[in-house]
């Protein structure tokens, strides 16, 4: 077992993890070295801007059904078990880990020392062991990067072991199929196999923090992006995948704290968990999203993209592999960032939804009760990626805008957020980045420049003195005017040619909100229940 690279004198994979008889162990390699190995192994290619492009194989997204948590003394009574948080037996974990270790015998591995949580009070050291060099580089991009000196004294709190070419045998191993991501809170290990999709690494640690921070430290963990204005005012953007967290938090006039995962503690610290961004690249253009576009340079890793024919120039409109094409890059690829990635108590919170029914207003101001109602609901819509025209979008309700990553009952996060919104008197806005003028197939998606203008107006207080109109069904307060935005698009009903169709669709969506909320009714205060939509009769 040959070991190369920088590491702490007591760093020992055999003692800490039981990894034995590996071939070469590459510690904390630079991005350049990892890129070189990636290319030599035929795992990736260089693109015209110096970014590398890789394919993640069979999985081009996370596999939520194959995400497990080891059920033991630490988790049994704390985790909200069910379809999202699936149980795994401790003995089965150990057995599967042994099989993975046997698989790695004689193979090269890459080790990355990194950490999560930009606020030192919550810093969590993570040692990531990967089979593939570019997965290691993903960890370099996405987690926080220790200094050389910190690496010399590095003691891991958590380990991630990621061996995509190792396949589980469901019969023997107790997994659902050959791929898996399993979190063990007692041994502090995340074990990933059978999938090269890097999001499993990132969201694995996110899930860990979503347990530890609220449960053990009374800190709210959030699936949101965050940025800071010139006056130091922090804004948070919650939303499910594809609603605009990454896109809208990159704003040339505001410094970026982070694009996806944050904590908010009792001392007014809003801190990034991560050290990088993971942006969608579908239809990316330099005109509409210059900051993200320019971040795709040496050091960035593109996933599952296509190329302009006969060149190494990415074609971001090519979705032949997946709609979920992605790029990861260290946060410093964005030019105006907060350093360190910490802000203060937010002044504004935006709930982003991509309503493909075209029913919800592009911007509305929520009362405290409505804010809690929408946070618990966590609504967005998915459009089926089909060629043959009009298909009905699907509603998605994901509590706290991040249910797949929340090990605790949603009420825990909602309670923490509610208290903070109350105490800090935060303004909460609902932003529909989805359809206008009709649903998917009839209307079109809200223009990004209008969405940006509405968010800017809200943050700059320009909506404080305008008139608001209340929408009948959802009870949402809609500004009658907004600078830089045509007034007629602010009220969705006005943008639909067929008003009867609008009322029907709005009623239909309201019904789905009400149905979804049934699961949460118990224990939710009457005031919040009153914020539910009211059906037209």
> How near is the Cβ of 307 to ligand ATP at its closest, in Å?
19
Q: Which does 446 bind (CB under 5 to 8 A by kind): Mn ion, ligand ATP, none?
A: ligand ATP
- Answer yes or no: 114 catalytic: no
Report CA torsion sign: 26, 32, 38, 42: negative
DSSP one-letter string for 323-375: S--EEEEEGGGSSSB-SSSEE-SEEEEEEEE--TTS-S-SEEEEPHHHHHHHH
246 binds Mn ion (CB under 5 A): yes
| C-beta closer to Mn ion: residue 96 or 142 | 142
> How near is the Cβ of 113 to Mn ion at its closest, in Å?
25
CB 96 within 8 A of CB 90: no
245 binds Mn ion (CB under 5 A): yes
Exposed (0-12), middle (13-18) or buried (19+): which is 521, by Cβ within 10 Å?
exposed
- Answer yes or no: 503 catalytic: no
SS3 at position 381: strand
Point out which span in 182-190, 244-252, 294-302, 466-474 binds ligand ATP (CB under 6 A): 244-252
> How near is the Cβ of 397 to ligand ATP at its closest, in Å?
16
> How near is the Cβ of 249 to ligand ATP at its closest, in Å?
8
- Answer yes or no: 452 catalytic: no
User: What is the maximum alpha-carbon separation in the chain?
Assistant: 74
Site for ligand ATP in 255-274 (CB under 6 A): 260
Q: Which two tokens stand for residue 230?
A: 């010139």
- Tell me which of 39, 282, 408, 466 binds ligand ATP, using CB under 6 A: 282
Q: Which of 159, 202, 254, 326 is catalytic?
A: 326
Q: Which two tokens stand for residue 158?
A: 């958590």
The phi, psi pair for 192, rounded to 5°, reads -125, 130
243 binds ligand ATP (CB under 6 A): yes
| C-beta closer to ligand ATP: residue 17 or 463 | 463
CB 512 within 8 A of CB 395: yes
- Answer yes or no: 312 catalytic: no
Report CA torsion sign: 84, 88, 94, 97: negative
| C-beta closer to ligand ATP: residue 31 or 434 | 434
346 binds ligand ATP (CB under 6 A): no
3-state helix, strand, coil in the chain (%, to 5): 30, 25, 45
| C-beta closer to Mn ion: residue 245 or 505 | 245
CA distance 57 to 53: 12
Q: Which does 239 bind (CB under 5 to 8 A by kind): ligand ATP, Mn ion, none?
A: ligand ATP
- Tell me which of 79, 162, 191, 248 binds ligand ATP, using CB under 6 A: 248
Distances (CA, A) of 521 to 77, 378, 397, 475: 22, 15, 15, 19
| C-beta closer to ligand ATP: residue 174 or 346 | 346
Q: Which residues contact 79 (CB under 8 A, 6 or more apart)?
A: 69, 71, 85, 211, 407, 408
> How near is the Cβ of 434 to Mn ion at its closest, in Å?
16
Name the residue with tokens 């074990």.
191
Three-point CA angle 378, 518, 377, nearest 5° = 5
Nearest to 109 by CA among 190, 43, 26: 26
Q: Which does 241 bind (CB under 5 to 8 A by kind): Mn ion, ligand ATP, none?
A: ligand ATP
Q: How many CA atoms are closer than 13 Å to the CA of 336, on its beta-carbon side?
A: 14
> How near is the Cβ of 244 to ligand ATP at its closest, in Å?
3
Name the residue with tokens 């974990």.
93
CB 329 within 8 A of CB 276: yes
- Tell me which of 279, 305, 360, 383 binds ligand ATP, using CB under 6 A: 279
Point out which span in 33-41, 279-287, 375-383, 413-421 binds ligand ATP (CB under 6 A): 279-287
Point out which span in 13-21, 276-284, 412-420, 422-430 binds ligand ATP (CB under 6 A): 276-284
Strand partners, 160: 128, 190
Q: Which does 469 bind (CB under 5 to 8 A by kind): ligand ATP, Mn ion, none?
A: none
- Answer yes or no: 493 catalytic: no
Point out which span in 122-130, 214-222, 242-250, 510-518 binds Mn ion (CB under 5 A): 242-250
Point out which span in 178-186, 244-252, 359-367, 383-391 binds Mn ion (CB under 5 A): 244-252
Residues near Mn ion (CB under 5 A): 245-246, 260
Residues near ligand ATP (CB under 6 A): 239, 241-248, 260, 278-280, 282, 289, 433, 445-446, 448, 451
Active site residues: 62, 203, 223, 241, 245-246, 260, 326
């Amino acid at each position: 077992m040959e070991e190369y690279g920088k590491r702490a004198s007591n760093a020992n994979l055999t003692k800490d993890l039981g990894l034995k008889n590996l071939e070469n162990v590459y510690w904390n390699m630079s991005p350049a070295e990892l890129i070189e190995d990636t290319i030599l192994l035929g795992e990736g290619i260089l693109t015209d801007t110096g970014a590398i492009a890789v394919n993640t194989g069979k999985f081009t997204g996370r596999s939520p059904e194959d995400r497990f948590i080891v059920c033991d003394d630490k988790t049994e009574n704390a985790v909200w078990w069910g379809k999202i948080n699936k149980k795994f037996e401790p003995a089965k974990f150990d057995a599967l880990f042994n099989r993975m270790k046997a698989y790695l015998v004689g193979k090269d591995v890459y080790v990355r020392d990194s950490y999560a949580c930009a606020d030192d009070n919550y810093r969590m050291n993570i040692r990531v062991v990967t089979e593939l060099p570019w997965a290691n580089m993903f960890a370099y991009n996405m987690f926080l990067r220790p200094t050389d000196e910190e690496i010399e004294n590095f003691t891991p709190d958590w380990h991630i072991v990621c061996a995509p070419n190792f396949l589980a045998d469901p019969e023997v191993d107790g997994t659902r199929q050959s791929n898996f991501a399993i979190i063990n809170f007692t041994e502090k290990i995340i074990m990933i196999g059978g999938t090269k999709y890097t999001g499993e690494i990132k969201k694995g640690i996110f899930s860990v923090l979503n347990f530890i921070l609220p449960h053990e430290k009374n800190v709210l963990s959030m699936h949101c992006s965050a940025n800071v204005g010139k006056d130091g005012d922090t804004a948070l953007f919650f939303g499910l995948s594809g609603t605009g967290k990454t896109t809208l938090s990159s704003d040339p006039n505001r410094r970026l704290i982070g694009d996806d995962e944050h904590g908010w503690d009792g001392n007014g610290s809003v801190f990034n968990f991560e050290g990088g961004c993971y942006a969608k690249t579908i239809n990316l253009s330099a005109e509409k999203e210059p900051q993200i576009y320019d971040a795709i340079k040496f050091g960035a890793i593109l996933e599952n993209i296509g190329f302009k024919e006969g060149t190494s120039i990415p074609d971001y409109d090519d979705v032949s592999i997946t709609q979920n094409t992605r790029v990861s890059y260290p946060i410093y690829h964005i030019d105006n960032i907060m350093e360190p990635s910490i802000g203060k108590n937010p002044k504004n919170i935006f709930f982003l939804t991509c309503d493909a029914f075209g029913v919800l207003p592009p911007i509305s101001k929520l009362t405290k009760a409505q804010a809690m109602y929408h946070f618990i609901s966590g609504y967005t819509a998915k459009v089926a990626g089909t060629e043959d025209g009009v298909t009905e979008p699907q509603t998605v309700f994901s509590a706290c805008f991040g249910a797949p990553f929340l090990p605790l009952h949603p009420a825990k996060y909602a309670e923490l957020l509610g208290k903070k919104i109350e105490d800090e008197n935060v303004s909460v806005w609902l932003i529909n980045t989805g359809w206008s003028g009709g649903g998917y197939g009839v209307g079109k998606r809200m223009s990004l420049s209008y969405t940006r203008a509405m968010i800017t107006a809200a943050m700059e207080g320009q909506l404080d003195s305008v008139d608001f109109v209340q929408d009948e069904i959802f009870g949402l307060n809609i500004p009658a005017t907004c600078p830089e935005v045509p007034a007629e698009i602010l009220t969705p009903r006005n943008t639909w040619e067929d008003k009867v169709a609008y009322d029907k669709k709005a009623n239909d969506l309201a019904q789905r909100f009400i149905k979804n909320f049934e699961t949460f009714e118990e224990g939710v205060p009457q005031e919040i229940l009153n914020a539910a939509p009211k059906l037209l009769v």
